Amino acid sequence: MAETITRVDYFYIETPNKPGEAARALNGIKEAGIDLLAFSGFPKGRRAQLDFIPADSAAFAKCAKKAGCTLSKKKSGFLIQGEDRIGAVADVLSKLADANINVTAATAVCAGKNRYGAILWVKAPDLRRAAKVLGVA
């Protein structure tokens, strides 16, 4: 089974880097009924950056505005889902490397039942070319 690769929008917020900040943000999203395709959080200096990849970008932006959150500008990345196998992510990243496209960041995880998922980002000027290399319509 081949991977399914889709171009997705993502947004981030910066929060204090202290216990409960990510839970607070995620609970607000949950209470608003917003579906997330992916989430990532990591320290950024003395603060934390929380990345959200929503299933519905417009609904997510509306929810954030209502909650008084300052969102980043909408950015794009790729969501990859597929059958887990040795080298699955290496194969995807090699396609981009062979096209001389630098991957800014990537996160991959085994999803169980022989499945995996990954998110990856490239610089905005490389988005169209990366989509073509990855076979994204």
CA dihedral 122, 125, 126, 128 (to 10 degrees): 120
Long-range contacts of 128-132 (CB under 8 A, 24+ apart): 129/99, 129/101, 130/78, 130/96, 130/99, 130/101, 131/7, 131/78
One domain, residues 64 and 95? no
Largest Cα–Cα separation, the chain: 44
pLDDT string in tens for the chain (137-residue length): 579 999 999 999 999 999 999 999 999 999 999 999 999 999 999 999 999 999 999 999 999 888 888 899 999 999 999 999 999 999 999 999 999 999 999 999 998 899 999 999 999 999 999 999 999 97
One domain, residues 47 and 90? no
Structural domain range at position 91:
76-134
**Digit-coded pLDDT (tens) for 4-33:** 999 999 999 999 999 999 999 999 999 999
One domain, residues 88 and 65? no
- Which structure tokens are listed for 92? 């995807």
How many domains would you assign to the chain?
A: 2
Cβ-contact 60, 10 below 8 angstroms: no
Give the integer Cα–Cα distance in Å for 24 and 123: 30
One domain, residues 43 and 83? no
- Among 43, 41, 105, smallest CA distance to 77 is for 105
Residue 2 lies in a domain: no
